[in-house]
Amino acid sequence: MSVKHVISRGLELGRSVIQLGLFKPAGRLAVKFRGERLRVGPPARTAQPQLFLPVRYRYFRISLRGLAAQLQSFGLRRFGRCGSARNRAVFLAFGVGVGLIEKDLEDDRRSAATCQDIQAVFTKKKFPSPVKSFSSGFKLEDYVIGRQLGKGSNAVVYEATAPYAVRRDRGCDQCSLLELKDQSSGDGKRDTDSPRSPQGSLGIYPLAVKMMWNFGAGSSSEAILRSMSQELVPAGPLAMKQEKDEQIALSGYFGELPKRVSAHPNVIRVFRAFTADVPLLPGAREEYPDVLPARLNPGGLGNNRTLFLVMKSYPSTLRQYLEVNVPSRREGCLMVLQLLEGVDHLYRQGIAHRDLKSDNVLLEFDTDGCPRVVITDFGCCLAQSDSSLQLPFNSVWVNRGGNSSLMAPEVATAVPGPGVVIDYSKADGWAVGAISYEIFGQANPFYKDGGLDSRSFQENHLPALPAIVPADVKLVVRLLLRRSPNKRLSARVAANMLHLSLWGRRALANQDSAGMKKLADWLLCQSALVLLRGCGPGGNSVEAELQRCFLSNLELEDLRLAVSFVLFGREQGRARIMSL
């Protein structure tokens, strides 16, 4: 046996023993501890990098020569004093193999520690509230109601203001559809009195009041809050007022207190939630007479009281924006990324939206003119106490969510029966993949005009995105729309891929998916840059917010998987180019 072959066999043997469990790979422990960190509440345990190797093997880190000497000594004791040179060579090569694995593990430990340190820094930095806090506003009489902004199947939204509500600054006043389309009857002139123009009522009415329809919940505050508890998921900690002598007994969708999601720039925030008598608001008798109570409309079917939610007012929905404008290449990427960050934020807190569509996404612009998207309307959300996002589907009467056109395949094809469970952990990410077609100027393939049905479509029937869309984004959309949730990207990995595509191109140059040292150095530089930028005027821009989201959710295994997908996609792209 040649010396080269002996060394090769020794290296293979060393790696095989390591992978079989002699030394636990960093990846296994990272996945295990990642599951602990995703749970609601403080983690039960944290990874200890110094424990990746058993105690008796730690001195091998000092030098490969010492490791090789130990292995040679073991071989000599086993085969006798007259051990052959081949045996010594085998154990020497085995030692080299172990040393190489240990070096990889050491790099992983350092990268994992870097990710954890960065995550700890940015997790403590809370996102500022879009409207300054105020101590009043728990009664409908506290608000001046303006024009109607929109009406859906469950509620109507009006613009509003209050004496204590802070008006928007001039930079935010530019966030309107006025820049996209003239609000006029077709003569090309701007209508400054339009309810959505900044010179009109958007600057005067910085708030929006959402009045829920109340058909069967009764007129008591307790019954209303119990029936509509899902609407309270994005409510802030001070959104509801409790009297000293009254404790409101809330029962959420699954018999528990309604779960609250923490603040995030891409998730709507409810500032106030209260019950009040249904008023006769502008256009009520003409547009929604059936939901009014009998005291306002003799033929109405609604109850006397209902739930009111107070939120920040936004210029438009994503659908309205896309009807009059096609985002640029970079803007489209940032909008998809924001949706993924919002979905991942909900998932980490055990919430599935289940009705994600362009009508339920609000939009404004930051001071640099970049679109900021916000997920809203949580009336169909799944917010269980155990955060499993698994819904028992034992009857046809179980609500699977809204918007059947954008239901993920595993939800749309579920058949009710004993023991059947629907997993919603990747359903919202699938909807983001479908909405991405709308963002990049194409018809949603799962609406009637698109011709595809989520229950029966084949992945190779998905239409191609425009040529202007970056290859990395096309890959993300294709992986988000996988039929099998086991093969589908999570929102976190998909978001990491877009982050790396937008800001980490240099870090990915000549990057090996197995080695993360170069990427860890880039993360440290990026963290310092984001921290410095946060103190300046651009700290609240869309890109700065996205970078903070990325750094506050760093997980080594998610990042490694994202790097692998990006590099694989680019290799495939180069192969296609070479084949032409």
Asked if 404 and 423 touch (Cβ cutoff 8 Å), the reply is no
B/e letters for 452-470, b = 16+ CB within 10 Å, e = fewer, are bebeebeeeebeebeeebb
What does residue 427 show for φ and ψ, rounded to 5 degrees?
-70, -40
The CA distance from 489 to 561, in Å, is 10
The CA distance from 391 to 350, in Å, is 12
Biggest CA pair distance of the chain = 106
Asked if 89 and 71 touch (Cβ cutoff 8 Å), the reply is no
In terms of C-beta density within 10 A (0-12 exposed, 13-18 middle, 19 or more buried), how is residue 532 classed?
Answer: exposed
Alpha-helical segments (H) within 192-257: 221-227
The CA distance from 228 to 274, in Å, is 11
Asked if 393 and 416 touch (Cβ cutoff 8 Å), the reply is yes
The count of other CB atoms within 10 Å of the CB of residue 475 is: 21
* Paired tokens of 569: 């996609």
Dihedral, CA atoms, 53, 58, 60, 61, nearest 10 degrees? Answer: 90
H or E, element range at 151: strand 144-151
Residue 478's alpha-carbon distances to 107, 208, 394, 481, in angstroms, are 32, 36, 32, 5
Q: Strands 207-212 and 155-161, how do they pair?
A: antiparallel
* Own/partner pairs, 401-404, CB within 8 angstroms, 24+ separation: 401/352, 401/354, 401/355, 401/427, 402/354, 402/355, 403/355, 403/356, 403/357
Q: Strands 270-277 and 316-317, how do they pair?
A: unpaired
Alpha-helical segments (H) within 80-178: 85-123, 170-173
The CA distance from 561 to 118, in Å, is 19
Describe the crossing of helices 85-123 and 556-579 by its angle, rounded to 10 degrees: 110
Residue keyed to tokens 């085969």:
79
Q: Nearest Cα to 31, choosing from 423, 490, 501?
A: 490
3-class SS at 503?
A: helix
Could you list the active site residues? 355
What does residue 236 show for φ and ψ, rounded to 5 degrees?
-75, 170
The CA distance from 172 to 131, in Å, is 12
